[in-house]
Structure 1
C-alpha cells in the first residue's frame, strides 16, 4: 500500500479561482494566436499555422508563470532553437534515428543557450514525425510559425498574468541588489543561487522567488516561536529622552550617566521626532577642527542637528517575530516603540535575546 502512495498526485489541490484564472488565460492566449493565424491565412501566408506544442507552452506561461521554464526567453528561444535543431537533424540523420536525435539534440541545444522549455522537445518531435511542412518552409519555419506564435502567446501571458495579479516575467535580481537582503534572511543572490544548484532546482524556481519563500517561512516560524508576544510585552519603558532643543553637551551627559546606546528625541507631547545614537555624537565631535572649538561651539548646537529620522519606529502591538529580520539583517541596534505616534518604549537586541533565553513558558499568553 505504501508503494502506491508514491504514485498519488504530487501537486496540491488548486483553488477554484486559480483554476479559472489559468484556464481562461490559456483560452484567451491560444485564441489570440488562432486569430492571428487566420489573418495570416487570409493574407495567403501558407507557412503560418498553429502547432500543437503551443498548448504545452500555454500550460507553463499561464499556470506556472514563476517557473524558469516558462519565462519569455525560455519559451521563445527554446521553441525556436528546438525547431532549428530538428530541421538540421532531418538533413543529416536518416530515419528512424532522426526522431530521437532531434529531441535529444533540441534538449541539449536549449540547455546550451539557457532556454530550456519542455514544449521545445515537442516541437522537435513534431517536426521529426511530420517533416513535410517544415522542410517546405526551410529554416524560416523556426521563425514562422514557431517563433511568431510563441511570441504572441508570451505577450498575451505577460498582459494577462499582470492583469490578474501574477508576476510574469518573474523577478530577475540585480547583480548588485542588496535592498532586499532582509527579505532573504541575509543571503546574497549568489548564495541563493548556490542553494538552488545544490538541490538541482534551478529550472524549477527563480532566485528572487526562493528568497521570498525563505523569508515568508522565517517570518511564519518566528510568529509561532513568539506566539502572542508583542513589542509592548518586552520593550523597555524606563525612557531617557531628549528634546529637539537639548544641547549636545547635555545629550552627551545623558549617555554617560545612564549607560544608554540611544537617545530618543521627543516633543513636549512625547511624540517621537528622531533618534540619536552614540555614533551620531562622536561623529559630531570628530567634525570639529579642534577640541577647543568643540567646547566653544557645541553649546549652540542641539540634538536636532545630529539626530536621525525615526522612520524605523514600530507600533506597540506589532508581533515580536516581525522584527527579527530588522534586528538581524538590517543592523538595527534599537527600535523605538510608539502608540498613536507617542513614544512608549524602546526595543533592543538584548530584549530579544532575553525573550529567547526565558523560554516559551515565560512568554505572555496570547
Structure 2
C-alpha cells in the first residue's frame, strides 16, 4: 500500500532538479537581501505612503533568486509584465464596480497582454489583483500605483538581483549563445545542432516551456558531447602534448622575447619562473604594443617579460580528455594550451596536435562501423 501511495505522490511531483544545499541557501539569502533592501529603499522614498511595498514582489523574488535562468525571470518580463498588469488592474478597478468581475478580467487580460508582448511574469497576475483588491490606500493612488510602488519595487528588486546573481557567479540576465565574430552559427553549432534547429523544434510545440532557447541548446550540445565520448576511446592531454616546449622566462628582457618570437614564428609563448612554474603567457601583440608605447615616460619602467605578460592562463591537466580542449580551440581561437602538473609546465598542446588527434579518432570511428 505504501509503495502505491509513493508512486501516486511521485506523479504529482515535478520532474525538477533539486539543487545542492549551497545553491538553495544562496537563493534564500538572495531573496532575503533583495526584499529587505528594496523594501527599505521604497519606504524611504515613499515616506508615509501606506502601499509602499506590494506582496507580489515576494513571488518575483522566487524567480529572480531561485530560477534566474528562467525566461519568466528576465528583466523585460519583470518590468514590463508588472507594469502592464498594474495598468490593466487600475483600469479595471475604475471601469468595473463589481470586484469579482474586475480582478478576474484584469488577470485574464494581463496574461493575454504579457504573452503578446513576450513579457510573461507569473507574479504580475498578483499585481493585477492587488490593484483591484488592495483597498483604499491603493485605490487612492489611481494610475500612480503603476509608477509607485509597482515600477519602483520592480526596478529596485531587479537591480539587487542582477548584482547578487553576478556576485555569486551566476549569469543574469541570460544572454544568447552567439558567434561573437560573425553572424553565422559558432563553429561548434555548424557541425552539430544550430539555433535554427532548436527554433524549428520549438515551433512545433504550442505549449510554453519554462526554459530559454539558449539554455536548451546548451543542454542538448553538452548531452551530445557526453554521448560522443562513449563512442570512442579518447586521448588524454599527455598522449598528444609536445614536451619540448619553447617558453619564455619571466625575467627575460622584452627584446629577447621578440627574438624568440621571430625564431619560432609563434603568436604567443608560455612564461615560467625559476622553478619552471607557469606564471603567465606573452602574446606577440603585447610585445608590439609595448614597442608602440616605449616612448611614453609612464612605461619607461617596463623592461622584462613579467611586466607586460598576461597572468590569466587557461591550463589543462595531463590526464584530462582532449575533448575538454575543443571549445578553446574552436570557439576562442587558441593557438595552444599549456599542460601543467604540480604547477610545473610539462608540455603544450597546439591546434595542430588537436587536429591530428581528432583525425585519428575519426579514422577509428570509421573503422568500427565498417
Identify the TM-score tier after normalising by the shorter chain.
0.5 to 0.7
Partner residue in 2 for 1:30: 35
Residue of structure 1 aligned with 2:167, choices 163, 167, 173: 163
CA RMSD of aligned residues (A): 4.5
Count, aligned residues: 298
TM-score w.r.t. length of structure 2? 0.64
Structure 2 counterpart SS, 1:185? helix
Pick one of 45, 57, 71 that aligns with 1:68.
71
Structure 1 residue 79 and structure 2 residue 85: aligned? no
Change (3 A) 1:228 1:205: same
Give the 3 Å change call, closer, same or farther, for CA 90–318 of structure 1 in structure 2. same
**Residues 143-190 of structure 1: CA deviation (Å, up to 9, x unaligned):** 100110111111111111111111111114569764995585334444
The corresponding residue for 2:226 is 220
Gaps of 5+ in 2: 1-5, 248-261, 270-315
Q: Distance in 2 between matches of 1:105 and 1:272?
A: 68
Q: 1:233 to 1:182 in 2, by over 3 A?
A: farther
Counterpart Cα distance in 2 of 1:331 and 1:71: 31
Question: What is the distance in 2 between the residues matched to 1:68 and 1:346?
Answer: 40
Unaligned runs of 5+ in 1: 236-269, 274-302
Q: Is the 8 A contact 1:178 1:188 kept in 2?
A: no
C-alpha separation between the residues in 2 aligned to 1:160 and 1:173?
22
1:280 corresponds in structure 2 to: none
Cα–Cα, structure 1 residues 227 and 342, in superposed 2: closer, same or farther, change >3 Å?
A: closer
Residues 24, 166 of structure 1: alpha-carbon distance in 2 compared, 3 angstrom cutoff: same
- Give the one of 313, 320, 323 matched to 1:321: 323
Query: How far 1:29 sits from its partner (Å)?
Result: 0.8
* CA distance in 2 between partners of 1:361 and 1:99 (Å): 68
Q: Deviation digits for residues 258-285 of structure 1, max 9, x if unmatched?
A: xxxxxxxxxxxx6579xxxxxxxxxxxx
Is the Cα–Cα contact under 8 Å of residues 188 and 330 in structure 2 kept in the other structure?
no
**Residue-by-residue CA offset, 1:180-216 (whole Å, 9 max, x unaligned):** 9558533444444444444468652234333432333
Give the Cα–Cα distance (whole angstroms) in 2 for the partners of residues 201 and 167 of structure 1. 26
Q: Is the 8 A contact 1:58 1:153 kept in 2?
A: yes
C-alpha distance in structure 2 between counterparts of 1:26 and 1:343, whole Å:
45
Give the Cα–Cα distance (whole angstroms) in 1 for the partners of residues 117 and 355 of structure 2: 48
Distance 1:84 1:344, change over 3 A: closer
Which protein, 1 or 2, shows the higher relative CO under an 8 Å CA cutoff with sep ≥ 6? 1
- Deviations, residues 32-58 of structure 1 (Å, cap 9, x unaligned): 122123324xx6442641111110001
TM-score (norm 1): 0.64
- Is this contact kept in 1: 2:177–2:214, CA < 8 A? yes
Distance 1:32 1:109 in 2: 30
